[in-house]
Amino acid sequence: MQMRFDGLLGFPGGFVDRRYWSLEDGLNRVLGLGLGCVRLTEADYLCSHLTEGPHRVVAHFYARQLTLEELHTIEISAVHSRDHGMEVMGMVRVPLYTQKDRMGGLPNFLANSFVGTAKFQLLFALKILNMVPEEKLAEAVAATQRPKKAAIDHSGGAA
């Protein structure tokens, strides 16, 4: 995923003008600007979501399994992309584990703020691609919905 300029987590992508581009051509054009070294095809398509509100947008979601070497290449390329430091602040790896405290790892990651349908897309991909066991994924989501304990002030001073 990417940390965006507005502090929200999201996936690489952008708007595609269907008059000039197929979805995949448009996506690869945008990915070429942001990542430079990955091409997606129709076979990588997972799902689409319609966002509600005054600006209705259809978000098409693609996913591809990468080798560790391919991931490293993308991470290095992303730092040198045109959008790095402007629209995109950096790449972020999603932790696919939960620590023994049941909050560290994926549950804490899911507590971040996501743009549009990105959180739903992430959860959908983790489930449909069997990247996290379904029961562990449900536990991680449930952990983010529990109220957090208030921090204890040990300073003894008055505010």
15-24 tens-digit pLDDT = 777 776 777 8
The CATH label, of 3.40.50.150, 3.90.79.10, 3.40.50.1820, 3.40.50.300, for the domain at 1-142 is 3.90.79.10
| Rounded percentage of the chain residues whose pLDDT exceeds 70 | 88
If DSSP states are collapsed to H, E and C, what string results for 97-135? CECCCCCCEHHHHHCCCECCCHHHHHHHHHHHCCCCCHH
pLDDT, position 76: 87
Across residues 41-66, what is the average pLDDT?
85
Judging by beta carbons within 10 Å of its beta carbon (0-12, 13-18, 19+), is residue 1 exposed, middle or buried? buried
Across residues 113-137, what is the average pLDDT?
94
Cβ contact 96:137 at 8 Å: no
Residues 6+ apart with CB under 8 A from 134: 127
Does 35 have pLDDT greater than 80? no
Cβ contact 92:1 at 8 Å: yes
Q: What is the pLDDT confidence band of residue 26, given thresholds at 50, 70 and 90?
A: confident
pTM over 0.85: no
- Domain residue spans of the chain: 1-142
Does 116 have pLDDT greater than 70? yes
Beta strands 2-4 and 88-91, pairing class? antiparallel
pLDDT, position 59: 84
Query: Which residues pair with residue 14 across a beta bridge?
Result: none
Structure tokens at 105: 């790892």
Length of the chain counted residue by residue: 159
pLDDT, position 136: 94
pLDDT, position 131: 94
Across residues 70-92, what is the average pLDDT?
85
Does 150 have pLDDT greater than 60? no
Of 156 and 46, the one with more pLDDT: 46
Does 151 have pLDDT greater than 60? no
Report the alpha-carbon distance of residue 116 to residue 103 in Å, rounded. Answer: 24
Does 75 have pLDDT greater than 90? no
DSSP 4: E
Across residues 26-37, what is the average pLDDT?
73
φ/ψ of residue 98, rounded to 5: -125, 130
